[in-house]
Structure 1
Amino acid sequence: MRSMKPAALIFDVDGTLAETEELHRKAFNAAFKEAGLNWIWDCSVYGELLRTTGGKERITVYANLIGEKAIDVPTLHRRKTEIYRKMVTSTSLELRPGVKRLIDIAYKQSIPMAIATTTTRSNVDALIAATLGGRVENWFMSVRCGEDVVHKKPHPEVYERVLHDLRVSAHQCWAFEDSRVGLEAALAAGMPTVVTPSLYTQTDDFSGATLMLSDLATPYSALIYRGHAQLHAVPSALIPLFGH
């Protein structure tokens, strides 16, 4: 029996499309140094801060944690974003394995694609231009970012907005995430979700995910299903997208 194609594929950005979190961390530290702040976020600190979604929110959480009061969070975050965008355009950043192939297949099969992220639109634009080329709208029918929502992940609002834009039902779409926070948002929106853990999320709890893969180039004959080390077939809707 012929499998039904997904109504849409909806992607998170940082850690899912590309391993960008190290660039973000370095951009934060550069912005802190410029601002005269004696803040250094090492990998351990940044890993903990990633439990909070949104750059401004992370700055606020950290400032409160160390008792720093006189911080102009919007200005500091704006400068961090400028630095990050320059880093993206000046480095040889690549998409994670299998991402470009999946996007190409979906594009050729006329499967709508969208982005649901907590990062800023300017960050998304820079990443897509550097990796896929051209404008983000050339590839994705809906792009919803941190500035589009009141409640960031794990709240499902960003996914709900994308689903509304596309006029599709959640259960007919597939979300692609790399973190527990993102997975919770997608599940709360009612979407089956493929998780590809990234550099900072290897130890997250991904129970509830429909599929957990090391990356999107993983053959469907050797997958981890719902966190258990078992061989399992890809759900029929995704077989045309994942190859052999």
Structure 2
Amino acid sequence: MLSALIFDVDGTLAETEDLHRRAFNRAFAALGLTWRWDAALYADLLTVMGGKERLAHYIETRRPDEAAALHALAPEIHARKTAAYSDLVTEGGLPLRPGIGRLIGEARAAGIRLAVATTTSRPNVERLLAANFPPGAEPFDVIAAGDEADRKKPAPDVFLLALAGLGIPASEAVAFEDSAAGISSARAAGLPVLATRSRYTDSHRLDGAFSAVSDLGEPGQPHRHIAGLEWPGGVVDLAGLIRWHEALDDQGTAFQAMGTSR
């Protein structure tokens, strides 16, 4: 029985990554640091999961001569970055990706529970949700955020936290991800994965997802199929997810629609 959907945040619920990059740059400027992260550099840094970890990696690899001082400054940099991200969301809004709001609505109407499993921090998740859902209408039953997990993706920890919060086995849920590390994380937790490409993961292989698409699609605005299970009309909907899930064998080994994407 399909009883829950578990979503990554950055690149999956919304195209947040460039706002994170701009927020880091605002924090650097506010502290008088002269370096800036452009889109190409940030794409490379995204191979490190988690903002704090990404910043530490940058310091170690790109600023080794200043590493001691910069590591001491890192907590303030990240705190300012989190505040700047909130400001950027407020200033310009941050819409959900195609199909996300529709599928969330279908799930809520059907009594399917919803969770978040993300490497980003809880304040960033809460700000994104506040920008897209009315007060008191936040749809997620469980939020498992990066600072609450012992290990970041591709380790399974954050998905295991989400499953524990939901109180269900992995066999009753489907995960939604946009990156190779995220897919590996969800699969390691025992979850089947539906993958969507995002701006900063366009070059990622999406191996291990039972379906890979450009986005979830909307009626009249179909997604682009990439690999694995194809969706009628180019739209991922709850009825289709339930049909696919019901087709799994008793051991959950029939991820027969697994695709490979280059």
TM superposition score normalised by structure 1: 0.89
Partner of residue 168, structure 1: 168
Partner of residue 202, structure 2: 202
Contact residue 156 and residue 186 of structure 1 kept, 8 A: yes
Amino acid at match of 2:227: Y
- In structure 1, what is the Cα distance between the partners aligned to 2:57 and 2:98? 33
How has the CA–CA distance of structure 1 residues 14 and 37 changed in structure 2, closer, same or farther, with 3 Å as cutoff? same
Contact residue 223 and residue 231 of structure 1 kept, 8 A: yes
How has the CA–CA distance of structure 1 residues 106 and 126 changed in structure 2, closer, same or farther, with 3 Å as cutoff? same
Contact residue 180 and residue 205 of structure 1 kept, 8 A: yes
Partner of residue 92, structure 2: 91
Contact residue 171 and residue 190 of structure 1 kept, 8 A: yes
Q: How does 1:29-48 map to 2 (within 5 A)?
A: 29-48=25-44
- Cα deviation per residue 1:48-85 (whole Å; 9 max; x = unaligned)? 10011111111100001121311111111010000000
- Could you tell me how far 1:208 is from its partner in structure 2? 0.8
- Could you tell me how far 1:168 is from its partner in structure 2? 1.0
Q: How does 1:89-168 map to 2 (within 5 A)?
A: 89-134=90-135, 138-168=138-168
2:53 to 31, 54, 57: 57
Partner of residue 181, structure 2: 181
Amino acid at match of 2:181: V
Contact residue 212 and residue 224 of structure 1 kept, 8 A: yes
- In structure 2, what is the Cα distance between the partners aligned to 1:163 and 1:156? 11
- Could you tell me how far 1:232 is from its partner in structure 2? 6.5
Structure 1 stretches lacking a partner, 5+ long: none
Contact residue 105 and residue 241 of structure 1 kept, 8 A: no
Contact residue 59 and residue 73 of structure 1 kept, 8 A: yes
Amino acid at match of 1:46: Y
Measured on the aligned residues, the alpha-carbon RMSD in Å equals 2.4
Partner of residue 193, structure 1: 193
SS in 1 for 2:175: strand
**Aligned residues with identical type, % of pairs:** 43
Contact residue 125 and residue 135 of structure 1 kept, 8 A: no
Partner of residue 213, structure 1: 213
- In structure 1, what is the Cα distance between the partners aligned to 2:79 and 2:152? 18
Amino acid at match of 1:181: A
Contact residue 14 and residue 21 of structure 1 kept, 8 A: yes
Contact residue 128 and residue 135 of structure 1 kept, 8 A: no
TM superposition score normalised by structure 2: 0.83
Amino acid at match of 1:189: A
SS in 2 for 1:128: helix
- In structure 2, what is the Cα distance between the partners aligned to 1:135 and 1:64? 42
SS in 1 for 2:83: helix
SS in 2 for 1:59: helix
Contact residue 196 and residue 212 of structure 1 kept, 8 A: yes
- In structure 1, what is the Cα distance between the partners aligned to 2:163 and 2:239? 19
SS in 2 for 1:200: helix
- In structure 1, what is the Cα distance between the partners aligned to 2:61 and 2:239? 43
How has the CA–CA distance of structure 1 residues 241 and 135 changed in structure 2, closer, same or farther, with 3 Å as cutoff? farther
Amino acid at match of 1:65: T
Contact residue 120 and residue 146 of structure 1 kept, 8 A: yes
- Could you tell me how far 1:38 is from its partner in structure 2? 1.7
How has the CA–CA distance of structure 1 residues 237 and 129 changed in structure 2, closer, same or farther, with 3 Å as cutoff? closer
Aligned length: 234
Contact residue 10 and residue 173 of structure 1 kept, 8 A: yes
2:7 to 4, 11, 20: 11
- Could you tell me how far 1:171 is from its partner in structure 2? 2.1
- Cα deviation per residue 1:163-192 (whole Å; 9 max; x = unaligned)? 111111112210001111111100110101
- Could you tell me how far 1:134 is from its partner in structure 2? 2.4
